[in-house]
Amino acid sequence: MSHILVYIAATDGKVKRSSLEVLSHCRKLASENGLKLTAAVLDADPSRYTETLSKYGPDTIFTVKHPVFGNHLNTPVIEALSNIISDSAPRLVAFASTESAKEVMGALSARHQAGALPDVASFTLNGDVVEAERPVMSAKVLSLTSSNSPLVMVSVRSGSYDATEQPGTAAVQEVAFDFDTAGLKNVLKEVLSSAGDKVDLSEAEVVVAAGRGIKDADGVKLVEDLADALGAAIGASRAVTESGLFPATLQIGQTGKVVSPQLYFAVGISGAIQHVAGMANSKVIVAINKDPDAPIFQYATYGLVGDLFKILPLLTEQIRSVKAG
Amino acid sequence: MKISVCIKQVPDVSAPITIKDGTLSQDSDRMVLDAYSASAVEEALVLTGAHGGEVEVVLVGPDKAKETIRKALAMGAASGVHIHVEDMSGLDSAAFAEILAAWHKQSSYDAVLTGKQSQDTDAGLTGGMLAWKLDLPYCANAVGLTYEGGKFLVKRQGDTGQEMVELESPCLVTCSNDMNDPRIPSLKGIMQSKKKPVKTVTLDDLGLSLDGVKGGVVKTEGKGFKDVPGREPGKKFEGDPAELVSQLVNLLDNEAKVL
């Protein structure tokens, strides 16, 4: 019986939520199509992830153990996944749409002559056809794209599906991986982290995002204080990463990161469609903006019309007192 | 140093778009140089400016796309290659990668640059596919690029932090629009661009045919378009900041239960 293979993104002992979302959705598709569900985890120590993964119901977990996977390089990931694909002949390979998945999917699909459907908001498998909806044209519209290829690869935007447990008994299959790092033509020299970039924004449960209304360093401080009170990751609109108020790594939107937290604060963000494409999957959206007609209010669960320089200090204080119980 | 930059002509995504019977309709039929491609051209010009050499731009597209090649030449690229395909309907990323690979197999370069994705489809596949077909080491989503001692050093935006990756030459790099601010062509640049060489190449010249590419390489099919679903309208409050904040914190704590 063929299977749906889910590539698992995991770092520092934690499986990414976005991978569990994909695994949960693929469990449903596998069941509908009479296919097995498998997961592949590539790591220096993959066994630390199998317990978490087995709670989401895969039939088999492929583990590939090699220290080279700590090096953020695409070549070993492509090589290892390619071996699993060649040996086990999956019907579909699904990824969470992380930066590392985006980097390998083109090469991997070319190597296996697979249909590739990247960065989808939703997808289905019905027998011979995989159909997906993808935001295109600067996220103004959804494109319906399908593939009849016998092997299809899909990467899924974070927050598109819920991660739901369904415990089962997963078989763990260790896959031998003989990799010669000496032959590599790409070498990781260094990983640079900025203060706001320690957490993966795409995985954060609470995000405070800043826009043009933040104006200056005083505004930045107010955002940092609110994020600190909430234990939130900080994000930013393109306007304030371009102006240099926030590092480019924090940009949320169609050209930046896609986030899907439980709680999202849009502070001084007007809500251009390109930004909304990066946060519309958030569960609860709070918008704070002085312009009552700002488009962001169309997406906000709760919208506050007012001066953020007056609202934020009060909000930070009240949240601290609620958190303190 | 010779850098080959794959560029794309795209519709102006800032123009309003409507969907009619599942197809896209724009008031303007203005076509422009893709912004990610423009960043790739800019980066190549900075590199050759510092280390010598020249930039060649390569585009797959119809006659109308010549103006986009001229735009890149006006920015400062030395020459252009126009792989002429008049009707691009039905072609996907795999098709463009196949065509671009056929060209690069008969061309020489120290590095190939592409956009990390393009503004119209946002797929981000072609660069990685091309690297595989050309057997090149590559990096995607570059925000910085330098050259030293025969090797390229890429700063790429990863999931957490930025990764500095050294690539042996020849290599391929896909460029983010966070990499630089593409220069606006000067009047002099525009005048000079008209005299720069643009070579027209057909699929036949590359040993390919449109039917062959569609039948053998294309694996996906566009089925139309639809509107992005909206969100349920929420609550909007105006008034005294202190009252607004109290209302909000109460709702977050007791209604949404997210604190």
**Predicted confidence (pLDDT) per residue in B88-140, tens digit:** 999 999 999 999 999 999 999 999 999 999 999 999 999 999 999 999 999 99
Contact B141/A at CB under 8 A = yes
Dmax over Cα atoms in chain B, in whole Å? 71
Task: Calculate the CA B74 to chain-centre distance.
Answer: 18
Residue B247: in which H helix or E strand, if any? helix B241-250
Give the model's pLDDT for residue B152: 98
Rounded Cα distance between B259 and A64, Å, is 39
Rounded Cα gap, residues B138 and B135, in angstroms: 9
Dist. CA A35–CA A313, nearest whole Å: 54
Query: Superfamily for A3-183?
Result: HUPs (3.40.50.620)
> How do beta strands B54-61 and B138-148 pair?
unpaired
Judging contacts by C-beta atoms under 8 Å, the chain A residues touching residue B233 are: 298
A136–B139 C-beta distance less than 8 A: no
Q: How far is A168 from chain B (nearest CA, A)?
A: 30
**B233 vs A129, higher pLDDT:** A129
Residue B236 touches partner A, C-beta closer than 8 Å: yes
User: Cβ separation of A304 and B248 shorter than 8 Å?
Assistant: yes
**B24 touches A at CB < 8 Å:** yes
Q: Is the dihedral of CA B29, B32, B35, B40 positive or negative?
A: positive
Eight-class DSSP state of B50: H
**List of chain B residues whose C-beta atoms are within 8 Å of the C-beta of residue A254:** 122
Q: Over 80: is that where the pLDDT of A199 sits?
A: no
Contacts B127 to A, Cβ<8 Å: 106
A11 interaction partners in chain B (CB closer than 8 Å): 159-160
pLDDT value, residue A12: 85
Instruction: With a cut of 80, say whether residue A197 has pLDDT above it.
Output: no
The answer, yes or no, to whether residue A19 has pLDDT greater than 60, is: yes
Q: What is the mean pLDDT of residues A309-317?
A: 98
- The whole-angstrom separation of Cα A185 and Cα A181 is 9
For A55-104, write each residue's pLDDT tens digit.
Answer: 999 999 999 999 999 888 999 999 999 999 999 999 999 999 999 999 99
- The number of beta carbons lying within 10 Å of the beta carbon of residue B243 is 13
Report the distance separating Cα B226 and Cα B231, nearest Å. Answer: 15
Cβ pair A304:B244 closer than 8 A:
yes
Using a CB-CB cut-off of 8 Å, the residues of chain B touching A325 are none
Whether residue B165 and residue A304 make contact (CB cut-off 8 A), yes or no, is no
Interchain CB distance below 8 Å, B128 and A107 = yes
The DSSP secondary-structure symbol of B253 reads I
Burial (0-12, 13-18, 19+ Cβ within 10 Å), B27: exposed
Taking CB atoms and an 8 Å cut-off, how many pairs form between chains A and B? 271
* Closest residue by Cα to residue A161 from A129, A121, A124, A133: A121
- ipTM reported for the complex, 2 dp: 0.95
Q: Residue A195 pLDDT more than 70?
A: no
Provide the 10 A C-beta neighbour count for residue A61. Answer: 24
Instruction: Enumerate the residues of chain A whose CB falls inside 8 A of the CB of residue B27.
Output: none
Tokens coding A13: 């002992």
pLDDT at A255: 85
Give the minimum alpha-carbon distance from A40 to chain B in angstroms, rounded to a whole number.
19
Contact B118, B31 (CB under 8 A): no
What Rg, from alpha-carbon coordinates, does chain A have? 21
Q: Is B17 within 8 Å of A199 when comparing Cβ atoms?
A: no
Angle at CA A30, nearest 5°, toward A113 and A58? 100
Comparing C-alpha atoms, which of A9, A178, A5 is closest to residue A103?
Answer: A9
Identity of the residue numbered B122 = D
The answer to whether the CB atoms of B256 and A263 lie below 8 A apart is yes
> How far, in whole angstroms, is CA B246 from its chain's centroid?
46
Segment A220-268, tens digit of pLDDT: 999 999 999 999 999 999 999 999 999 888 999 988 899 999 999 999 9
Q: Is B243 on the interface with A (CB under 8 A)?
A: no
The pLDDT of residue A144: 97
**B64, burial (CB in 10 Å: exposed 0-12, middle 13-18, buried 19+):** exposed
In terms of Cβ atoms closer than 10 Å to its own Cβ (0-12, 13-18, 19+), residue A325 is: exposed
The pLDDT of residue A196 is 55
Q: What is the largest CA-CA distance in chain A?
A: 62
Ramachandran category for residue A137: left, alpha or beta (phi over 0 → left; psi -120 to 50 → alpha)? left
pLDDT over threshold 80, residue A47: yes
The Cα of A69 is separated from the nearest Cα of chain B by a number of Å equal to 14
- Find the CB nearest A192 among B97, B164, B259: B164
CB-count burial class (<10 Å; 0-12, 13-18, 19+) for B235? middle
CB-CB under 8 Å, A311 with B140: no
In A, which residues are within 8 Å of B223 by CB distance? Answer: 131, 144-146
Q: Do B236 and A292 touch (CB under 8 A)?
A: yes
* Single-letter residue type at A48: R
Mention every residue, 6+ apart, whose C-beta is less than 8 A from residue A101. Answer: A7, A9, A95, A155
Q: Report domain extents, chain A.
A: 3-183, 201-324
Write out B177-213 in H/E/C secondary structure: CCCCCCCCCCHHHHHHHCCCCEEEEECHHHCCCHHHH
Interatomic CA distance for residues A262 and A42, integer angstroms: 28
- A201-324 has the same fold as A3-183: yes
Partner residue opposite B141 with nearest CB, options A99, A142, A284: A99
Residue of B nearest to A319 (CA): B249
Cα torsion A229, A234, A237, A242 to 10°: value is: 120
Angle B88-B90-B93 (CA atoms, 0-180°, nearest 5)? 85
Tell which phi-psi region holds residue B124, choosing left (phi > 0), alpha (psi between -120 and 50) or beta. Answer: left
Partner-chain contact B138 A74, CB within 8 Å: yes
| Residues B221, A147: C-beta atoms closer than 8 Å | yes
Identify the band that residue B28 occupies on the pLDDT scale cut at 50, 70 and 90.
confident
Task: Say how far apart CA B253 and CA B247 lie, in whole Å.
Answer: 10
In CATH terms, A201-324 corresponds, of 1.10.287.610, 3.30.70.20, 3.40.50.1220, 3.40.50.720, to: 3.40.50.1220
Q: Alpha-carbon distance A228 to B40, whole Å?
A: 37
Taking contacts as CB-CB distances below 8 angstroms, the residues of chain B near A147 are 219-221
Looking at residue A50, what is its pLDDT? 97
How does pLDDT run across B9-18, given as a tens digit for each residue? 999 998 999 9
Which of B125, B162, B231 is closest, CB to CB, to A249?
B162
Contact B184, B76 (CB under 8 A): no
Closest of A43, A200, A18, A10 to residue A96, by C-alpha? A18
Per CB-CB distance under 8 Å, the chain B contacts of A106 are 93, 97, 124-132, 140
Give the model confidence (pLDDT) of B191-246 as tens digits.
Answer: 999 999 999 999 999 999 999 999 999 999 999 999 998 888 899 999 999 999 99
Cβ contact (<8 Å) for A143 and B127?
A: no
CA distance B94 to B213: 9
pLDDT in tens, B131-184: 999 999 999 999 999 999 999 999 999 888 899 999 999 999 999 998 999 999
